[in-house]
A = this chain, B = another copy of it.
Amino acid sequence: MLPGIGLFGTGDIVRALVPYLRVKGFRVEAVWGRTLEAAENVATELNIPFHTNKIDDVLLRKDVDLVFIICQPDLHAQIAVKALGIGKHVLCDRPAGLCQLEVLKMVHAAQYYPSLISVISHGLRFLPAFVHMKSHIAAGYVGTVNVCDIRVQCGSMIGTQFDWMCSHLMGGGILTMLGSHIIDVVSWVTGQRATRVHGIMRTFTKSTEKINGIRWIDSDDFNSFQMILDRGACVTATLNSHIPGEFIQELVVCGSQGRLVVRGSKLYGQKNDVNSKEELLLAGDEDIAQVSGSNSNNGARINSLLPAPYLQGLFRMVLALKEAFMGDGEHGWLKEPVSSAATFEDGQYVQAVIDAIRLSSSSRQWEQVTVATDESELNPLMTRLNLPNINMSSLDALSQAPTNQRKVASSHWPFPNNH
């Protein structure tokens, strides 16, 4: 039987997701909102039987077996760790947390409860174009992977009110929102991880017509980053939210024998022969696209926050989750259909890259990507990043987190190079 779902979050993604979950047979039992009013509005609009602004009230419900954490990133770690601790499956939105330390706590929780599903919503892994790109690369279509070139162009991701999306300290910005997906999918399709990175982050739009009070926007609206992967490939990505209009995403993988390109939801390829021409290898994801199309009347901001390829990928991921639960007889093969999903470990890697790109943008140097195994390794990085007290205080709220591991290891500086 499909599990009951508890939702954390009241944003546009929730509005797009709930109808699809119901079509696929899931029951949405409860919704949590930051304020009772927000929760009530969504519950009324989407006809969800229970709403609250208390986290535990959703987690402790017996009819909730699977939680979708689609709220502000500073709460992700707290909710995910708690949920796993009381035996709930977790799908957590990107970015997994505010910094690697938070995500490492989630990883430890997931390792402690291996029979529970714990995945990050990197839906591009389920988009057929990327699935086929991965298998083509594995089959040698491009030969040795040399270059990945990614370009994302979209309109502003800032809404009409000041919220966490406006604050990089709360996890907002184009790097965490879209860059996280890119970092994950590049690593997934190539089978390579970044060893060092370089980046520029900028906030060009610091205020808007609606947001011009005492609080300013400081989340990045432009990002250019470069990664050197562990087998030598170069990755360069440009994320630009100053291009209103159609959402454009192109990911090119060039190798010694040819190239593969995903444009939107379509896959193209060309071999390096003289007579070869670019060919369409896989057309878009139309049946899924129709469902997302039916939700496009939920406001223009959906397009920026979760454009078509992302929504299609997320919907495909929901299908995989359904398959996983339909086969829920023995624990052995429960997770099979979601085996390609991003684990919390993958989320930690992505977060480590994001942290290093942020650090690079302020240090103006290349930075090593350090995936930590022990929480004590990470404090120096946080110090260098000047991450705010808010992180630590929100972590303090994690009553289940083992506090004895949280020793400040300033003597570890400079932190050891994992690569």
Contacts and interface: CB of A to CB of B under 8 A. Distances in A.
Contact of A238 (B149, B200, B256, B270): B149
A379 interface: no
Nearest to A155: B272
Q: How large is the interface on A (under 10, 10 to 19, 20 to 34, 35 or more residues)?
A: 20 to 34
Contacts of A222: 146-147, 234
A148 to B, nearest CB: 10
Interface string A262-286: 0000000010101011100000000
A200 B272 contact: no
A224 B236 contact: yes
Contacts of A272: 244
A366 interface: yes
Contacts of A415: none
A243 interface: yes
A240 interface: yes
Which has the most chain B C-beta neighbours within 10 Å: A226, A236, A259, A364?
A236
A277 B240 contact: no
A243 B270 CA distance: 9
Nearest to A149: B238
A406 interface: no
A254 interface: yes
Interface in A231-262: 234, 236, 238, 240, 242-245, 252, 254, 256, 259
A202 interface: yes
- The quantity of this chain's copies bound in the complex is 2
Interface in A193-230: 198, 200, 202, 204-205, 222, 224, 226
Contacts of A243: 252, 254, 259
Contacts of A146: 202, 204, 222, 242
A226 B237 CA distance: 12
Contacts of A151: 149, 151
Contacts of A149: 151, 238, 240
A115 interface: no
A44 interface: no
Given A244-B276, A364-B365, A236 B200 contact: yes
Nearest to A203: B146
Which has the most chain B C-beta neighbours within 10 Å: A146, A151, A242, A274?
A242
A256 B204 CA distance: 8
Which has the most chain B C-beta neighbours within 10 Å: A147, A202, A270?
A147
Interface string A298-313: 0000000000000000
A147 B259 contact: no
A299 B51 CA distance: 70
A243 B256 CA distance: 11
B245 A200 contact: no
Contacts of A236: 200, 224, 236, 238
Interface string A351-384: 0000000000000111000000000000000000
A70 to B, nearest CB: 26
Contacts of A244: 270, 272, 274, 276
A202 B238 contact: no
10 nearest A-B pairs in the assembled complex, by CB-CB distance: A242-B254, A224-B236, A146-B204, A364-B366, A236-B238, A147-B222, A149-B238, A202-B234, A245-B278, A200-B226
23 contacts: A147-B202, A147-B204, A149-B151, A149-B238, A151-B151, A153-B252, A198-B198, A198-B200, A198-B364, A200-B226, A204-B256, A205-B256, A224-B226, A236-B236, A240-B252, A240-B254, A243-B254, A244-B270, A244-B272, A245-B277, A364-B365, A365-B365, A365-B366
Given A149-B238, A198-B198, 8 more contacts: A149-B151, A202-B234, A204-B256, A242-B254, A244-B270, A244-B272, A244-B274, A365-B365
